[in-house]
Amino acid sequence: MNTLATEINPFMMMMNPESVLHTMEHSQQLRNLHSRQLRPLDKPLIPYASEAWMSRAAYDAMIDAEDAEDTDTMKEFTLH
Cα 43 → chain centroid: 16
Q: For the chain, how far is it from start to end, CA to CA, in angstroms?
A: 69
pLDDT at 74 (0 to 100): 58
The reported pTM is: 0.33
pLDDT tens for residues 12-70? 878 888 988 898 899 998 888 887 777 777 666 566 677 777 888 899 899 888 877 76
Between 80 and 70, the higher pLDDT residue? 70
- Count other Cβ atoms within 10 Å, centred on residue 13: 14
